[in-house]
Structure 1
Amino acid sequence: MTTPEVLFSLPLAEEILESHRYRAGGDDEGFDAYKAHVYRVINFARALSRDAPERDDKLAIAAAFHDLAAFDTLDYLVPSILAQDAWLHRAGREAWSDELAVVVAEHHRFSRYRAPRPHAELVEAVRRADLIDVSQGLIKFGLPSGYVREVRGAFDAGVFFTRVIPAGAVRAVRTLQPLGFLRPRDALERSGHLGADR
């Protein structure tokens, strides 16, 4: 399998992430680790999908927003989608709103997201990319081991997985927050995208 060169910086992802750094509440180390996770997802998703017009822009946007609200809550799909919608509106890219909402909502899906469901290729690429990273590279979906190691080694996301997400889990237990990150259809409905996945 031929893999693309590793992208170390993508201006659109940088712009979105830096304009939303405040969401980390001053936890710059945690936010930098989230940023590393975003770049891992972008790189894996590029390797898992066909090159197409606007693919990299869509990946930059969806990856930047996919776990953004995890600094506040484990029910983070809805606020992440709403933040993405607001950004798309400001950027004049509202036409991508439904597609990228589905990408964010479905990125923790356990089973394959298949056509003829809408936006299947991008949704599935991001779902697989996120799972490669969350599994610490144990799951690869056919990507070469060397490429997975190279991407993971280039971006240090450790603090995001060892501190930010566990802290969110503790908050969720203490405050009885719903585990909304596991309910994609509910997230689409609550964020105003009901039916975008059909």
Structure 2
Amino acid sequence: MIEPIVSDPAVERYLPQIADAVGTDFAAYRNHIYRVLSYAVHFLGDDPRGREHIAFALVFHDVGMWTDHELAYLEPSEAVAERVRAQHAPHLDAALIANIIHWHHKLFAFAGPDAKIVNAARKADWIDASLGIVRHGVARKQVAAIEEAIPVLGFPEVLMRLAKDLRHGNWVAGLWRVLSRVYKI
């Protein structure tokens, strides 16, 4: 069974860095982070280095949508993460953080450095972002248990609203921008 993670020292330490930017979407985004972290730790196993890097990266992985008002948010999210990492967490591997963020929507396995860590985060985000349609071997019952412990709080609707708002009311154009600029093969 996957243990829901509802609090993590790294997440709680860095969440305040983005709270103002995320605004009223904060609770939905926070819960998304914790659901993804729960799945990622399941895939990662007992790897404290990997967990700390994933927890840090997850705080920032989607934040470019809010900070830069940009649907092609990977690079802006990486930039925010790097600014905070350099100032507050220089012990973390900058390249690993960037890879976790940059490749978290990759369709197929990442094959670069620290692939196990990057892929744990990637598979975990796919489970949550797809509402459990893509499960990477996780049982539907386990997804339901994680969502019960860490409620979704309308996060998919937040993403659809942002896609519409950031493309001036045209959610189709927003969705196309995300599909063409964020998702990777």
Name the aligned partner's letter for residue 32 of structure 2: H
2:27 paired residue among 27, 32, 41: 32
Q: Quickly say closer, same or farther: Cα 1:95–1:19, change in 2 above 3 A.
A: closer
1:126 maps onto 2:121 in alignment: yes
Could you say which residue in structure 2 is the equivalent of 1:11? 9
Q: 2:162 aligns with which of 152, 168, 173?
A: 168
Equivalenced residues, count: 176
The match for 1:195 is none
TM-score scaled to structure 1, two decimals? 0.79
Question: In the TM superposition, what are the counterparts of 1:90-101 in structure 2 within 5 Å?
Answer: 90-93=87-90, 95-101=92-98
2:136 corresponds to 1:141 = yes
Q: Does the 8 Å contact 1:6/1:151 carry over to 2?
A: yes
Q: Separation in 2 of the partners of 1:22 and 1:37?
A: 17
Distance 1:52 1:102 in 2: 17
- The separation in 2 between residues aligned to 1:4 and 1:153, in whole angstroms, is 12
Query: Unaligned regions of 5+ residues in structure 1, if any?
Result: 185-198
Q: Shift of the alpha carbon at 1:66?
A: 0.7
Cα deviation for residue 64 of structure 1 reads 0.9
Report the Cα offset of residue 86 of structure 1: 0.9
Query: Which runs of no fewer than 5 residues in structure 2 stay unpaired?
Result: none
Is 2:54–2:100's contact at 8 Å kept on the other side of the alignment?
no
Q: Aligned pair 1:57/2:55, yes or no?
A: no
Equivalence for 1:181: 182
AA partner of residue 18 (structure 1) = P
- Residue 46 (structure 1) aligns with: 41
Do 1:33 and 1:157's aligned partners in 2 also have CA atoms closer than 8 Å?
Answer: yes
Asked whether the 8 Å contact 1:109–1:127 carries over to 2, the reply is yes
Q: Which amino acid aligns with 1:63?
A: L
Identical amino acids, percent of aligned pairs:
26
What is the distance in 2 between the residues matched to 1:87 and 1:56? 18
The equivalent of 2:64 in structure 1 is 69
Whether the 8 Å CA contact 2:5–2:38 is kept in 1: the answer is yes
- CA deviations 1:114-133 (Å, max 9, x no partner) are 3xx21211111111101111
Deviations 1:44-102 (A, max 9, x none): 00111132232221121011111112222212111111111011111242651111101
AA partner of residue 108 (structure 1) = H
Letter of the structure 2 residue corresponding to residue 34 of structure 1:
Y
Aligned-residue Cα RMSD (Å) equals 2.2
